[in-house]
Amino acid sequence: MVFFDSVSTKVRAEIVAILTAVAEAPPPAFSGGGKWEAMHGEMAGFYEIRVQGGGMNHRLFCLLERDAEDLGGSSIVAIDGLSKPKRSAAAPKDYRRALKNRAEFERRRTVLE
């Protein structure tokens, strides 16, 4: 995923730690502490990992796939990510890209970007 290549090793490690914690204590057992949040509106169905680093906010958009036989069982699927300056909104094009990638995943069970 291009997003993972764009963030520092420290940010990537924190994201992986959050993914591991969620996988080990899946929602609703995992409270998130502001690091794992359900999204709303047009992004409903996504969960967002939130990490700060290097003066930026980093977001990873994920889906929960329950009992997905093609994925070997219940899975967290990383669909897209973005980095943005602190206290700024994500660009609409970033959300559109994530929605496009989710549609592609649902259609092909993979994301080709």
Q: Which residues, in sequence order, are bridge partners of residue 37?
A: 48
Residue 18 buriedness (CB in 10 A; 0-12 / 13-18 / 19+): buried
Q: Which of 43, 40, 52 is nearest to 87 (CA)?
A: 52
Distance, CA of 41 to chain centre: 16
Classify the phi-psi angles of 82: left when phi > 0, otherwise alpha if psi is within -120 to 50, otherwise beta. Answer: beta
Q: What is the pTM of this model?
A: 0.90
Could you please state the CATH topology (level 3) that the domain comprising 2-108 is classified under.
YaeB-like fold (3.30.2310)
DSSP 4-34: HHHS-HHHHHHHHHHHHHHHHS-TTS---TT
pLDDT of 81-113, one tens digit each?
999 999 999 999 999 999 999 999 999 988 665
> Where does the pLDDT of residue 72 fall: very low under 50, low under 70, confident under 90, or very high at 90 and above?
confident
pLDDT of 21-62, one tens digit each?
998 886 666 777 889 999 999 999 999 999 999 999 999 999
